Chains A and B, each alone.
Chain A
Amino acid sequence: MGSIAAQLFSGLSRDIKSGSSLGSVNVDLQTDATLQVDISDALSERDKVKFTVHTKSTLPNFKQNEFSVVRQHEEFIWLHDSFVENEEYAGYIIPPAPPRPDFDASREKLQKLGEGEGSMTKEEFTKMKQELEAEYLAIFKKTVAMHEVFLCRVAAHPVLRKDMNFHVFLEYNQDLSVRGKNKREKMEDFFKNVVKSADGVLVAGVKDVDDFFEHEKTFLLEYHNRVKDASSKSDRMIRSHKSKSPHCLIISTCLGKFFLKVSELFEKTRKIEARVAADEDLKLADLLKYYLRESQAAKDLLYRRGRALVDYENANKALDKARAKNKDVLQAETSQQVCCQKFEKISESAKQELIDFKTRRVAAFRKNLVELAELELKHAKGNLQLLQSCVGVLKGDT
């Protein structure tokens, strides 16, 4: 195991072509010349991935027009959290944070392969190793794409792109000294989340004055749950699709002793099936996963607005009480003003954000579903041709 893992995990640097993978999950990202961000390279080490973030910008506040820095996953999370915690951005859908690079599954499989090396033939072993390497590479590419999408969404957002932290993230070419959260902070986070979700339930119960938002609220809630469900089911489906592969491999090597042509056929169809599973994963599962996260972000927006509404209404009540008692009226008035402003500000931007969200979602689904169907067709036709030609040859042999 050691040797294989060492080969794969150390110093695996790949030139990432970001263009195509970018579009797979998100569309309509205005990449105007004023600010263009991409991940030009990525390096995979023992247990972390180093991304090279490359920026091209004509904005005056950057020292140069084109520059690159190296960032790690924790720094992306730091950036995301800084947006979330910033009150100014309460009225926007914060682009969801990229998921942590997870090579554990791949690593496990590689380990199992290493352990089982003695029990299979040389050719089986090399085939499986190649497959695992390809799988590892695919995961790697995906995680790079996810990180890149996050950055591009931020860069495309008219307000977020001006954020100070974002600029520091892009430009500061030394380590941001952002450490991962330690245990205590993680516990704090956990409790914060619990409180937030309880509050969320409360807030959600409050009927909204605006029909648009009311509708969005109910829609998003349901949608989010269903996307979660669909995402997990599609994951499982694709996983069982993938798990057929190793057995086909064994079958083809066994058959090889008897029927050469047939075993070749199975080998080829197996490769195609693996591609099918990979494509399904890319077009369907990733799509659903991404929109799971985005719909969560949209829900968060609604929650913040709902919170602001509740605060506003509470402030109103407090003001009325203060006026009735004629005590601390000024204070109550100012706080009511503040709440009102906050609420209105959020509502204004939220509406636009949610409409944008819908447009993006529909476009992304369309693109992916069309591509999924086209790829499925392509592979099925390929399979069909292989099978038919083999059957023809076998029959002709009589």
Chain B
Amino acid sequence: MAAEMEPPPLGDAGQTDFREIEDGEGFFVSTVTILESPEPSSPDPPSMPAEGISTNGPKQEDISLDDDPEDLFAEATEEVSLDSPEREPILSDGPSPAITPVTPTAMLTPRMGLGTAEMFERSLDELEEDESGDTFDMHIAVSDPEKVGDGMNAYMGYKVTTKTSMTIFSKNETTVRRRFSDFLGLHSKLASRYLHIGYIVPPAPEKSIVGMTKVKVGKEDLSSAEFVEKRRSALERYLMRTVKHPILLKDPDVMMFLESSELPRAVSTQALSGAGILRMVNKAADAVNKMTIKMNESDAWFEEKHQQFENLDLQLRKLHASVECLVCHRKELSVNTASFAKSAAMLGNSEDHTALSRALSQLAEVEEKIDQLHQDQAYADFYLFSELLGDYVRLITAVKGVFDHRMKTWSKWQDTQLLLQKKREAESKLQFANKPDKLQQAQDEIKELEGKVQQGEKDFELISKTIRKEVSRFEKERVKDFKVVIIKYLESLVQTQQQLIKYWEAFLPEAKAIA
């Protein structure tokens, strides 16, 4: 195979990128958000989780984050540093990354002259967009939860509406009805197909036996309504995340899920089914294996990333727990405010000075409204912030799973290599033992194993490459996600404060009117 020293023609956009990079910056540190902010951000803000990043090259000048408003979210992403010379260049392969690219294994010299990894990323993204013909424009809504059936066999049906202008879909707008197990079935299919080759498949919302039983039994109370709403919102987020992934979007199962009116019932998702038990057994086996595999990490990037994700996981969990506490406390505050409002009203009633009495009743009203405000705010806290954090905690688990698959792939490759070695030794022994047919057999086996070893190496390289891409995409998505949600959350806080101001401004003249 031709030792390709140049990437396949990417189209104009790609070329100019390369040229820019070659001229302009060094090929060392820039963050992935180079796409979002023109200036490079400071490489290693001390608050970054992965303190171990060592950049060999000249550091970019330390730009104080506070001064540079555009870099607000820059520090949130990790760097892709090109320290390790053994790092394989991420070739931009053809249009669809699912096709195994021609990665010459012999070519290990890093493409120093070709700029940073993200430039590849960008060109790849553009390629993907070009390929599908239009930009990502899709909106999925999950709505209208309706209880179908009765008793313990009842389930909630959800309406899934897809609105898109993308050409790969047959219609602009599709509506189907799905139930929870359909979502789980979709996820399990995607996971079995893509997880082991390194794609980060968004995890589905969790099962909840308690919640569902309440709904099935028909308890029409606040907590079961909340449960249904929580689930509906989680399902919507799950679908949106799944389709945002360019590879998963094109998966036939996804399209079938979104478009076809009838889906075969996904029985294997039931917890107590045969498949469910098999899953549990596999999980246990995986956990044991993970502990026994000692991977010889030749690529520092993966080591760093792994560490980063561990730290991120910890931080997010802590944050999530805190936000949940906050929600609790706000609800408590709302309850107490309501009871105080009632009490103040009673006090106003018994006060015999008329103006003061009126003022006290007004105070009671104000407090009541504030109580409602607190409730709404708690609702926002929860749905905006807390659920997002929960989603990301689960996503990070998926990411870690992908890293684990890479380890497994590596270990499989190594095992095959060891086996090959043994067979070779056996063969050389047989050479002296003068057993022609056994010798032939051994040689055949060796050929077979050689092929397997090559395949194993290819697989490993492929999964490593895919993971790199996925991680950077994940990072971008994460920053975007968080940013959007935090802005929304802050806006909800703004609204609360504005309402508070309105209420107290209305009360003030009443208080002043007490003669």
The interface residues of chain B lying within 8 Å CB-to-CB of A236 are 336, 339-340
Q: Contacts A226-B343, A247-B326, A369-B511 given; indicate if A254 touches B319 (C-beta within 8 A).
A: yes
- Cα separation A258 to B349 with both chains bound (whole Å): 51
- Cα separation A249 to B484 with both chains bound (whole Å): 22
B72 close to A394 (CB less than 8 A): yes
The interface residues of chain B lying within 8 Å CB-to-CB of A391 are 487, 490-491, 494
Q: Is B240 an interface residue (CB 8 A)?
A: no
B319 close to A230 (CB less than 8 A): no
* 8 A Cβ contacts from B338-356 to A: 339-340, 342-344, 346-347, 349-353, 355-356
Q: Is A127 an interface residue (CB 8 A)?
A: no
- Per-residue contact bits, chain A 254-267, to B (CB 8 Å; 1 contact, 0 not): 11111111100100
Q: List 5 A-B contacts (CB under 8 A).
A: A243-B332, A247-B323, A256-B47, A260-B47, A260-B72
- Cα separation A366 to B65 with both chains bound (whole Å): 48
- Per-residue contact bits, chain A 237-274, to B (CB 8 Å; 1 contact, 0 not): 10111011001101100111111111001000100000
B76 close to A258 (CB less than 8 A): yes
- Cα separation A156 to B246 with both chains bound (whole Å): 81
B48 close to A251 (CB less than 8 A): no
Q: Is B318 an interface residue (CB 8 A)?
A: yes
B501 close to A381 (CB less than 8 A): yes
Q: Contacts A227-B347, A230-B344, A388-B494 given; indicate if A259 touches B339 (C-beta within 8 A).
A: no
A362 contact from B322, B343, B353, B363, Cβ within 8 A: B353
A223 contact from B350, B363, B511, Cβ within 8 A: B350
B69 close to A393 (CB less than 8 A): yes
Q: Is B315 an interface residue (CB 8 A)?
A: yes
Task: A219-B352, A366-B359, A387-B494 given; name 17 further pairs at CB < 8 Å.
Answer: A222-B350, A223-B350, A233-B342, A244-B333, A251-B323, A254-B318, A259-B73, A260-B66, A365-B360, A366-B356, A366-B514, A373-B508, A377-B501, A391-B491, A396-B69, A397-B73, A398-B483
**Which residue of B has the minimal Cβ distance to A245?**
B329
Q: Contacts A237-B333, A244-B330 given; indicate if A387 touches B490 (C-beta within 8 A).
A: yes
The interface residues of chain B lying within 8 Å CB-to-CB of A108 are none
The interface residues of chain A lying within 8 Å CB-to-CB of B339 are 233, 236-237
Q: Is A88 an interface residue (CB 8 A)?
A: no
A384 close to B72 (CB less than 8 A): no
B72 contact from A256, A259, A361, A381, Cβ within 8 A: A259
- Cα separation A197 to B491 with both chains bound (whole Å): 55
Q: Is B14 an interface residue (CB 8 A)?
A: no
B75 contact from A226, A241, A260, Cβ within 8 A: A260
Q: Is B157 an interface residue (CB 8 A)?
A: no
Q: Is B221 an interface residue (CB 8 A)?
A: no
**Which residue of B has the minimal Cβ distance to A241?**
B333
A229 contact from B325, B332, B346, Cβ within 8 A: B346
A397 close to B508 (CB less than 8 A): no
Q: Is A100 an interface residue (CB 8 A)?
A: no
**Which residue of A has the minimal Cβ distance to B328?**
A247
A-B pair count, CB < 8 Å, reads 162
Q: Is A380 an interface residue (CB 8 A)?
A: yes
B72 close to A397 (CB less than 8 A): yes
B352 close to A234 (CB less than 8 A): no
* 8 A Cβ contacts from A354-398 to B: 358, 361-362, 365-366, 369-370, 372-374, 376-377, 380-381, 383-384, 387-388, 390-391, 393-398
Q: Is B379 an interface residue (CB 8 A)?
A: no
A362 close to B356 (CB less than 8 A): yes
B483 close to A223 (CB less than 8 A): no
Q: Contacts A390-B490, A394-B72 given; indicate if A230 touches B356 (C-beta within 8 A).
A: no
List of 3 A-B pairs having minimum Cβ-Cβ separation, nearest first: A366-B514, A369-B511, A233-B340
The interface residues of chain A lying within 8 Å CB-to-CB of B226 are none
- Cα separation A396 to B486 with both chains bound (whole Å): 14
* 8 A Cβ contacts from B235-250 to A: none
**Which residue of B has the minimal Cβ distance to A234?**
B340
CB distance from A106 to the nearest CB of B (A): 20
Give the B-binding residues of A (Cβ under 8 A): 219, 222-223, 226-227, 229-230, 233-234, 236-237, 239-241, 243-244, 247-248, 250-251, 254-262, 265, 269, 358, 361-362, 365-366, 369-370, 372-374, 376-377, 380-381, 383-384, 387-388, 390-391, 393-398
Residue from A236, A251, A257 whose CB has the most chain B CB atoms within 10 Å: A257
CB distance from A261 to the nearest CB of B (A): 6
CB distance from B368 to the nearest CB of A (A): 12
B351 close to A223 (CB less than 8 A): yes
CB distance from B469 to the nearest CB of A (A): 23
Q: Contacts A222-B350, A259-B486, A391-B487 given; indicate if A247 touches B336 (C-beta within 8 A).
A: no
Give the A-binding residues of B (Cβ under 8 A): 47-49, 65-66, 69-70, 72-73, 75-76, 315, 318-319, 322-323, 325-326, 329-330, 332-333, 336-337, 339-340, 342-344, 346-347, 349-353, 355-356, 359-360, 363, 482-483, 486-487, 490-491, 493-494, 497-498, 500-501, 504-505, 507-508, 511-512, 514
A226 close to B508 (CB less than 8 A): no
- Cα separation A391 to B495 with both chains bound (whole Å): 12
B490 close to A373 (CB less than 8 A): no
Q: Contacts A240-B329, A251-B326, A395-B487 given; indicate if A257 touches B72 (C-beta within 8 A).
A: no
The interface residues of chain B lying within 8 Å CB-to-CB of A358 are 353
The interface residues of chain B lying within 8 Å CB-to-CB of A240 are 329, 332-333, 336
B347 close to A387 (CB less than 8 A): no
Q: Contacts A376-B504, A387-B497 given; indicate if A394 touches B322 (C-beta within 8 A).
A: no
- Cα separation A384 to B494 with both chains bound (whole Å): 6
- Cα separation A100 to B370 with both chains bound (whole Å): 33
CB distance from A267 to the nearest CB of B (A): 14
The interface residues of chain B lying within 8 Å CB-to-CB of A250 are 318-319, 322
**Which residue of A has the minimal Cβ distance to B344?**
A230
B359 close to A369 (CB less than 8 A): yes
A380 close to B511 (CB less than 8 A): no
CB distance from B378 to the nearest CB of A (A): 11
CB distance from A368 to the nearest CB of B (A): 9
- Cα separation A296 to B512 with both chains bound (whole Å): 27
- Cα separation A219 to B352 with both chains bound (whole Å): 8
Residue from A222, A237, A380 whose CB has the most chain B CB atoms within 10 Å: A237
**Which residue of B has the minimal Cβ distance to A276?**
B500
Q: Contacts A226-B350, A229-B346, A380-B497 given; indicate if A370 touches B490 (C-beta within 8 A).
A: no
CB distance from A254 to the nearest CB of B (A): 4
**Which residue of A has the minimal Cβ distance to B48?**
A257
- Cα separation A361 to B347 with both chains bound (whole Å): 13
CB distance from B126 to the nearest CB of A (A): 20
- Cα separation A395 to B484 with both chains bound (whole Å): 9
The interface residues of chain B lying within 8 Å CB-to-CB of A366 are 356, 359, 511-512, 514
The interface residues of chain A lying within 8 Å CB-to-CB of B332 are 240, 243
The interface residues of chain A lying within 8 Å CB-to-CB of B336 are 233, 236-237, 239-240
A237 contact from B70, B337, B504, B507, Cβ within 8 A: B337
**Which residue of A has the minimal Cβ distance to B316?**
A254
- Cα separation A60 to B415 with both chains bound (whole Å): 106
B347 close to A373 (CB less than 8 A): no
**Which residue of B has the minimal Cβ distance to A291?**
B347
CB distance from A76 to the nearest CB of B (A): 29
**Which residue of B has the minimal Cβ distance to A396?**
B69
A380 close to B507 (CB less than 8 A): no
The interface residues of chain A lying within 8 Å CB-to-CB of B48 are 257
The interface residues of chain A lying within 8 Å CB-to-CB of B353 are 358, 361-362
Residue from B333, B344, B359 whose CB has the most chain A CB atoms within 10 Å: B333
**Which residue of B has the minimal Cβ distance to A260?**
B65
**Which residue of B has the minimal Cβ distance to A254?**
B319
A219 contact from B70, B333, B350, Cβ within 8 A: B350
